[in-house]
């Protein structure tokens, strides 16, 4: 798959083929992809807890899914994730560590998409209860939870609507839509050297 197509396809997935579960070896492969990502000072302080099987059902109620979908309380039976991954950072993590965590989480999402799996990066969860349930090692805390499984829902990238809303939504058939800004709205400056002179091609004074 072309890389841009992979990035486009790697939308957050919240519904999964529950009868086709991921296995521990699948989660290990995802963690292996994550461990190879760039790391500030190459310190490699991130750690991972992998969950498959029956314990997944204990973790699901401790996580919050899709805040923008007010009438949807999370994956229904038959559409629930079949694996979780807890991404850990040191309790006294520095700012660059959180950048490392974002890089690792996105790598896991891309890797999952490359195999037809889905990934939901979750920052809203009951931290204290999960710390205890997963017996997190001393000196570490859970920064992100990743819900994983074989992707079930169709997700599409669309332009922002006329009102500029960035909220995602679903249609009557359950297709999930994610509005994205146009490229020209995201690039707020273009500079190029021409015969030794700097030429400003585009500069926008105000970012909206």
pLDDT surpasses 90 at 125: yes
Distances (CA, A) of 183 to 98, 148, 186: 26, 30, 5
pLDDT surpasses 80 at 194: no
pLDDT surpasses 90 at 54: yes
pLDDT averaged over the chain? 92
Three-class DSSP category at 193 = strand
List the one residue out of 10, 18, 38, 173 whose CA is nearest residue 82: 18
pLDDT digits (tens, 9 = 90+) for 2-40: 999 999 999 999 999 999 999 999 999 999 999 999 999
Other beta carbons less than 10 A from residue 15's beta carbon: 25
* Mode of pairing for the β-strands spanning 197-203 and 169-170: unpaired
Note the pLDDT of residue 77: 95
Contact yes or no for 38/98 (Cβ under 8 A): no
Sign of the Cα pseudo-torsion (19, 79, 143, 58, in order): negative
Three-class DSSP category at 161 = coil
> Buried (b) or exposed (e) across 114-131, using 16+ Cβ within 10 A?
eeebbbbbbeebbeeebe
Note the pLDDT of residue 126: 97
Other beta carbons less than 10 A from residue 42's beta carbon: 6
**Structure pTM?**
0.89
List the one residue out of 9, 6, 4 whose CA is nearest residue 178: 9
Contact yes or no for 150/81 (Cβ under 8 A): no
Q: What is the mean pLDDT of residues 144-157?
A: 96
Q: What is the mean pLDDT of residues 124-134?
A: 96
Containing 140, the helix (H) or strand (E) segment is: strand 140-150
Torsion of CA 126, 58, 66, 129, to 10 degrees: 0
Q: What domains, with CATH codes, occur in the chain?
A: 3-153 (3.40.109.10), 157-203 (2.20.180)
pLDDT digits (tens, 9 = 90+) for 73-123: 889 999 999 999 999 999 999 999 999 999 999 999 999 999 999 999 999
């Amino acid at each position: 798959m072309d890389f841009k197509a992979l990035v486009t396809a790697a939308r957050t997935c919240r519904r999964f083929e529950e009868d086709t579960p991921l296995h521990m070896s699948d989660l290990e492969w995802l963690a292996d992809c994550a461990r190879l990502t760039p790391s500030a000072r190459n310190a490699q302080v991130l750690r991972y807890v992998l969950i498959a099987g029956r314990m997944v059902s204990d973790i699901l109620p401790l996580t919050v899914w899709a805040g923008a979908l007010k009438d949807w309380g999370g994956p229904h039976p038959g559409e629930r994730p079949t694996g979780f991954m807890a991404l850990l950072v040191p309790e006294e993590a520095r700012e660059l560590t959180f950048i490392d965590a974002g890089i690792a989480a996105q790598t896991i999402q891309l890797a999952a998409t490359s195999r037809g799996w889905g990934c939901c990066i979750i920052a809203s969860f009951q931290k204290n209860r999960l710390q205890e349930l997963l017996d997190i090692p001393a000196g570490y805390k859970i920064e992100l939870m990743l819900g994983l499984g074989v992707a079930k829902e169709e997700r599409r990238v669309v332009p922002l609507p006329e009102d500029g809303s960035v909220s995602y939504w679903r249609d009557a058939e359950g297709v999930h839509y994610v509005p994205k800004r146009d490229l020209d709205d995201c690039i707020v400056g273009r500079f190029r050297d021409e015969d030794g002179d700097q030429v400003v091609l585009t500069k926008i004074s105000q970012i909206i």
